[in-house]
Amino acid sequence: MKNLLYCFLFFSQIAFAQKAIPKQDFSLPKITNAKPRNIIFIFSDDHRYDFMGFTGKVPWLETPNLDRLAREGAHCQNAFVTTSLCSPSRATILTGMYAHEHTVVDNFSPEPQNLTYFPQYLQKAGYQTALFGKWHMGDEDDNPRKGFDTWVSFRGQGTYYNPTLNINGKSQKFENEAYTPEVLTDFALDFLKNRDKSKPFFAYISHKSVHSDFSPAKKDLYKYHGKSIPYPSTRFLSHSQAPLQQGVNQQDIPQWVRNQRFSHHGVDYAYHGRVSMDTIFWRYCETLYSVDAAIGRVLNYLDESGLAESTLVVYASDNGFYFGEHGFIDKRSMYEESMRIPLLVRCPEIIKAGTKMPQVVQNIDFPSTFLDAAGLQPPPQMRGKSFLPILTQKETKWKDKIFYEYYWEHDFPQTPTMFGVRTDRYKYIFYHGLWDINELYDLQNDPQELNNLIRSPQHEQIAKELQKEVFDWLEQTNGLQIPLKRPVRKRIDHQFKGTY
């Protein structure tokens, strides 16, 4: 009887999870007059928006191939994610839905089986589709997923060296210090060279880099070691003993922010103190340099094959990364360095070289953009819009606000559930489930987010209006119920020496 009750509860939960996802339209989207373009989507991990050579943020950082994409194509200067976390961000890119809709809200639960991914539409339209690299929805599962004719992936976060890859359903171990970004690029180039030339292609090259533990190619190790590090001025502001600074509202820094600096994701106990902040910074940049070289191999192939002019190449990351801002490392929260990402787009036939796009775009817009490039209209469940008309200057009207969400995680409980909205000028952050203070920033006058205006009488009406925007958005997109996930793995608790 006990086992029957357990089975009933288990399958009831699955049924509820499936029901919670809006019904999706899998009929082929309408075809436009646009030419179906070849598409290469190069995706990195934890790459923050300003760590590219051409931005000048880190004077000694070299990214010649990313610089080339910006020079020959477009730099989308205000690109963001809807959730700054690997799996939710990836699910949003594949589905065009918010995390509370697709319900992939953490890094460990498998994705629901009734989701529809945009490559499935490309397949139906005659595209050859391929994925090379990180999938990371369901921590231990590297099996081929729907929507891809060619599949080369690994479990969870994978490794930087000597990876074990699932190649179209068969496992293969690589040895002799094989570097994963180079191995993935080898597979991608093999696919491009041996594809059916009569059909368009979509190649999704999804690198592990630059996720911790940061590891460059062996030849690039120590390339930047000892370089002067441009740490942010906000690195110590959240410390309880930090001296008061004129013009900075230290009183209204949330308590959870103050506490996090001493956690796994804080500057005072970064990654449990296994390595110094300086080493983290140098290794991150060295790893980025190595993955930039892998990107260069793909660009070189496009040149050699005559595909460079007509192929849409998009480079982006799944989220940003802190290097001391507000006392943080890592990502997850809604400050700029976490939710903002690099986004470079090149297609010389339609995008003018050196284009700078100031409009805000989000990862939720990516699938609609890819379908647009394929000559397809996005299906109803996709919340985003194609930004190709903005890049090609065919349209000027665009969204004036973006929304953000993050859900508390069992493994990293120091960051709370939050919802927010960002306009061109203001950012409002609402925290759920903790006794603390919300946040409001004037990004025009305070781009570093130093002065929380939530208690400012002059900004009270703005805060009320933005809070209404947040809850209107959640209500309109069926987001007023937090999607809970059953713990799916054991984690060692280092403090109590147990598992749960």
Question: pLDDT tens digit string along 70-101?
Answer: 999 999 999 999 999 999 999 999 999 999 99
pLDDT, position 139: 65
Q: Which residues contact 108 (CB under 8 A, 6 or more apart)?
A: 87, 138, 139, 411, 485, 488, 489
Asked whether the beta carbons of 42 and 294 are under 8 A apart, the reply is no
Which stretches in the chain have pLDDT values below 70?
Answer: 1-26, 139, 488-500
Q: How far is 52 from 81, CA to CA, in rounded Å? A: 18
427 three-state secondary structure = strand
Q: CA of 128: how far to CAs of 69, 122, 160, 193, 205, in Å?
A: 24, 8, 28, 13, 14
pLDDT, position 411: 86
pTM of the model: 0.93
pLDDT, position 484: 87
Q: CA of 377: how far to CAs of 34, 229, 486, in Å?
A: 10, 46, 36
pLDDT, position 17: 43
For residue 475, count other CB atoms closer than 10 A to its CB. 10
Count how many residues are written for the chain. Answer: 500
Q: Is 134 exposed, middle or buried (0-12, 13-18, 19+ CB in 10 A)?
A: buried
Q: Check residue 489 and give left, alpha or beta (phi > 0: left; psi -120 to 50: alpha).
A: beta
pLDDT, position 19: 44
For residue 484, count other CB atoms closer than 10 A to its CB. 12
Extended beta strands in 168-220, E state = 170-173, 201-206
Q: Where does 36-399 sit in CATH, by number?
A: 3.40.720.10
Token pair of 297 as six digits? 């191999």
User: Which residues sit opposite 74 in a β-bridge?
Assistant: 345, 355
Q: Which residues contact 400 (CB under 8 A, 6 or more apart)?
A: 423, 424
Read off the pLDDT of residues 347-362 as tens digits, 9 standing for 90 and up: 999 999 999 999 999 9
